[in-house]
Structure 1
Amino acid sequence: MQIEQPFRINAAQPDKLKQFLPQPLIISSPVAGWNGFYFAYHRQLNYQLPETSPFQNIITIYTREFQAKLKINGHWQSKSYAPTDVGIFPADQISPAVQFEQELGFIHIGLEPAMITRVAYESVNADAVEIVQQLQTHDPLIQQIGLTLKQEIENSGFDSSLYIESAVNLLAVHLLKRYSTQKFIIREYTDGLPKHKLKEAIAYINDNLDQNLSLAEIAAIAQISPHYFASLFKQSMGIAPHQYITKCRVERAKYLLASFFIC
């Protein structure tokens, strides 16, 4: 007797989910993602999924209350979900088959394992990081991050990649702190970035203001993880990296506009 294998979900290939979804995705991030991050939002009615196993770590955020049936250990079980409930489905782990019988809204956030490792490497043994599956958990912070990302993408499109990346790094840190099999302790820094690293980062920002800067590439200049770079940069400058870049771009636009009228 042949055992049916779980369906492999790849957030980088959202079109392959069409066979299960009655309605198309409303929002879907570019296939390339943002440094290992994927976002999707959709509303569905009366559909079901077989057992699945994702390539990425998938965080599912529910935007309204609903009922669902999950097949756990061969038996269907009914569950009630509230708008502040979320599901966490780690990469390469099997998730149960599920049936939805009501209209519901989903936010899906996909994080590549390498991104979790990148966030973790300064605090734990990154090679042994493992996220614990949560079929249903109450987590207002994850809910808030998901809704903030949705609002930012709807209002600003996919151009605010550095702001989005900062929010996703916060999400990754939260997953490691609350849902990792290892104890994850945030290191406390109080002195900001070393002066030479701050100078290098600022120079890189000013030299590339016309580019689509990412938090990861700026953090690489300082040779630290994006999460710690964002924290230390804010301590040094008083504002977050994405706010600083926006300020620099506004100042440059003012300068260019003034130069135009002088000419």
Structure 2
Amino acid sequence: MPDYPVVSSDVFGWSEVKLSGWEGVSPQEAFEPALASHLIVIHTTPQPVRVFERADGYRGEGTAKQGDINLFSAGDMSYCRWDGALSFQRLDLSPALTDKVAAELELPIGSGSAIDFGRHIRLQDDRITQMAQWLLEDLRNGGLGGKLYVDSLVRMLSVHLLHRYGTASGHREAVPHRLVRKQLDGALQYIHAYLEQDISLDDIAAAAHVSSSHLVRLFKEATGLAPHQYVIRERINKAQELLVKGSSVHEVAASLGFSDQSHLHRHFKRIVGVTPREYIQSFR
């Protein structure tokens, strides 16, 4: 495929999912004899495009419309030929991650067996589309949400895929009902101890003694915020303290793990209602 993605997660080093956006890719063939990851392709071309597709157990010709989703499992063969310019989003999801999430949810996938989502052509699934869109928006915003935000979305996507399309989709997960006070305290203490670092979802889950697959829901029920939202809010609270004490905007951004001053600026104004410099001036 000689055309290049207009946006890609490669520049951010995402490890558990790779996301790319493609626009107006010229008519051609795309063939992968054995997919290394679970593959999700979301068609975004405004007009219908004629396609011919092959996968393990499937061979057919049809029309790909905006919003159609193709879902393939790792290890599958994937072939597609299209007759007009094609736009799409591609997500490659790590099999190691989905196996890990299945184990955390206590889904009976069988000893030594891997998750299989089957093969789905021109699927409609609003949840997949929405989560992919959130990930794509984060890419276009320069990774504004950070690692914790991406981790949370990828776990949510994995849980949805497992329950709706996975081999264990007919089974209910063993779900803890809430975070007990000791678990919540462990999570909050960890966040505050490492507020200036690039905290991961797994780190917080380990501190709370709960699986990362359950943490997002339980944390939000306990605090009213998703983990990444809570971390950002606490960083902004700390930023306010440091600015009042005389630290520069550049120093605050660097010390609290923001990628640059503009990253701090965007979150600060969204939460506080004014820019960092306007906030400093209010105390003079």
Q: TM-score, normalised by structure 1?
A: 0.82
SS state at 1:53 partner: coil
Out of 98, 101, 105, the residue aligned to residue 119 of structure 1 is: 101
Tell me the residue number matched to 1:153.
139
User: What is the Cα deviation at residue 125 of structure 1?
Assistant: 2.0
User: What is the Cα deviation at residue 155 of structure 1?
Assistant: 1.6
Q: Distance in 2 between matches of 1:233 and 1:73?
A: 40
2:22 matches 1:39: no
Give the 5 Å matches for 1:62-101.
62-64=43-45, 65-71=48-54, 77-95=60-78, 97-101=79-83
User: What is the Cα deviation at residue 135 of structure 1?
Assistant: 2.5
SS state at 2:39 partner: strand
Tell me the residue number matched to 2:40.
59
User: What is the Cα deviation at residue 158 of structure 1?
Assistant: 6.2
Out of 232, 235, 245, the residue aligned to residue 246 of structure 1 is: 232
Tell me the residue number matched to 1:134.
120
User: What is the Cα deviation at residue 213 of structure 1?
Assistant: 1.5
CA RMSD of aligned residues (A): 2.5
Q: Distance in 2 between matches of 1:34 and 1:204?
A: 23
Tell me the residue number matched to 1:26.
6
Tell me the residue number matched to 2:90.
108
Q: 1:255–1:46: structure 2 CA closer, same or farther, 3 Å change rule?
A: same
On the 8 A contact 1:36/1:111 being kept in 2, the answer is yes
Q: Distance in 2 between matches of 1:60 and 1:153?
A: 17
Tell me the residue number matched to 1:219.
205
Q: Which moved more, 1:136-145 or 1:32-41?
A: 32-41
2:176 matches 1:185: no
Q: Any idea what the Cα deviations from partners look like across 1:8-51, whole Å, max 9, x if unmatched?
A: xxxxxxxxxxxxx2211222223784352211112211121235
Q: Any idea what the Cα deviations from partners look like across 1:62-108, whole Å, max 9, x if unmatched?
A: 1123221124799974211121211111111222x221121121211
Q: Distance in 2 between matches of 1:194 and 1:224?
A: 10
> How high is the sequence identity, in percent, across the aligned residues?
28
User: What is the Cα deviation at residue 217 of structure 1?
Assistant: 2.1
Tell me the residue number matched to 2:256.
none
User: What is the Cα deviation at residue 232 of structure 1?
Assistant: 0.9
Aligned length: 241
Q: Distance in 1 between matches of 2:12 and 2:233?
A: 28
Q: Distance in 1 between matches of 2:143 and 2:185?
A: 31
User: What is the Cα deviation at residue 205 of structure 1?
Assistant: 0.8
Q: TM-score, normalised by structure 2?
A: 0.77
Q: Distance in 1 between matches of 2:71 and 2:184?
A: 36
Paired letter, 1:239: L
Runs of 5+ unmatched residues, structure 1: 1-20
Paired letter, 2:226: A
Moved over 6 A (4+): 72-76
Q: Distance in 1 between matches of 2:60 and 2:95?
A: 30
